Structure 1
């Protein structure tokens, strides 16, 4: 475990400080960090091996993590048929009380499918059917996953999908939507997922790929190993009312790239800050890396150009899922790719600094963090919508994100703004049902938005432009014309008009 000081570029190793907390031989890995007890410090979820059969919860403070593992003891011997430990976990505020709860489900049947309600110092177990009041005949169907994958009705709170698998045919699934009801504090069954007979669980991803203010779905077709783009067209309201329409035929790829991909590996991020998310993904074969830059051809079509040959100074011979972050805090997303000890040096670890938009001055941005008050302090599922209008007040540009603990960029939500220096409005839909709107927010800054409060700037940053030339305003009553200009840095220049 390391801490990096970006101001001094100093790297400090702090593993020994936390070693005693994690000194359990049966821990096989940790999930994402969450703030379970709303104290402002991140906590950790760990998984035990197949002999231990436990989920380990570590509550953190400023100096140490302490273990409350006994609150989540699971039966002895939960694992997949392959012998590896397996515990799909879903973390969300399921009972609307402002704390993050857990849902644990497992298709193998070794783990009891239960809800664990967060009581800050312990977790109380509850049957899944307390909130999800439907089940298929278990003689013919097997419960596969319970997952809060997405906010289908756009109220700021994640909804749930319960997916069953047919015992006689493992390629036949049935998924049911459970939409949150903020007033009744429960979930309403609205219908099955009938699109292409694929389970509505991972490896799906949800992202506003066409920047229209509605969060779309990116699916993985297991038989063709290709991405499918499904555009969001409506909210889920009625039984069998599917909210997505497949638009894969309107997405085109220029330059050769490896079409085999999984959504758990492909990541959407705006690398050149033009307002449209690009795609970065490793090849499924384990070699190479594709960077697909979005180029909207029209309102209904998206084109992607693979720029890996020109954008990467060193092409990695191995590939893995990149980790995205703004390492140098200059307003664009950098990334790193790391591998295990079996990969030869120097490909074991690489960090790539992003310089795609450094020279044109037309790549503004904003980075947002959310902090809940009535909602959980880490408000999983909140929606962030950025809106800009034209001079007549008509709608013309929107971007939407769903706040989540992303394994590749944490809790930071990055928006490219292109030439826009001000965001007309930032709308946040919180899991508690609250709605906050920020008006006329300057670009090129980092903001913490606190639920029900005003925003706080973390750090302001203005990217230097190559140059700017002001407008000519001729005056017939004045023999002179003044034109303003600015330059990126001191030097000797020649300006011709």
Structure 2
């Protein structure tokens, strides 16, 4: 029995690798997987690359579902998916907080910081609406081989001293401000007692890290929303201390974005900061080396800046935008086309026609030759959360993960929310590529939904041309359970339902099953779980 299972598992791994290679050879990016939240109105899709939290050599994906809509079934949750050569969409850990003051747990997520110096990446999950007066609360989890779902540290502000601060609306932890060898946690509270000055709290990491703020930045001008966007941007002034980029959305003045220079001399603050001379506002993002000069870069809204600072000035990297697209730079991206320049990921600031652009780095950046990923549902929420991976699936595969927090499910206009993973192995001389869910550009076998399931689940697949298609279900021993499809199909996307029965229409036992797509010379397998 074990030998049969091992052979079948090995076959699946080989076929999945073949699937990856086959699709990558013909497309710039391919749709690797799609998976959903548990309940309607979950807003599942707050995606974040939290680094390798369990030390297995693969980066890991954390997805929040804040469920901040009236009538939801939960108060929010987050699911952690360990990366690996056999990456699947079954969560390895689920995080929930059972507290009557929890409102939207999973609304903000941050990771890729080693706060306690144990060699494992840690991560934080926030509920910025926590409490009667929306003070906010942040929960930190230390990574390790025995990672559990119990928070190791909790951070909040004193009730009745702070009101409506939304502490945790923004966070960062992948930098070391005081250069002591431990990454530091930064938490924004932009609403600040409803006058919207905005505050930012900094907690130094260490072997015995506590939840008492070591530094506090307070904007003196009201209606600024100071701290609504936060990110580390590396060492932009070349003094060996990591620096912090903090943005605002001023309502009554032209106060701009600030860089706070890290140091351990006791003068961290506005007195040791850089304020941009022109009002630049919007999402702030620390990037990799976009222009190939050896320094990491950063962005504010749609403005792209090159580090380091020279003569108290940052040079701006030109973005050619002939169609005047209204966009924001949302995330860093590895070097897809292997030309030595890192890419950037942008989203289209249009609530009706939402798109994601992957723009190639260089001395200048052009949106003309960007890869365009269309919203598959034409529903708000696509691309609000984006992250990328060097090694989520396997060594040579770069992945781009997009959260779509609002999706149609039947008559529910909110839906469960979903996560969409696009992958590639290598892109060479790409001129333009557009991904549209209405026109299949290859054979694809999607993750079933729901999963785990009881009593039935839906399997989606696509074929790019007229093909003979066979979809079959197998058990862990490699025995055929049921043939779901065995016929010729025209090009398009299809769904097939499996109700947990065998060829005799008898109910099968709960457990792990595999479904397999065969069409012409293409073969793919996926795993699903039937629960009772």
TM-score class, shorter-chain normalisation, is: 0.3 to 0.5
Normalised by the size of structure 2, how large is the TM-score?
0.40
TM-score w.r.t. the length of structure 1 is 0.42
Structure number with higher strand proportion: 1
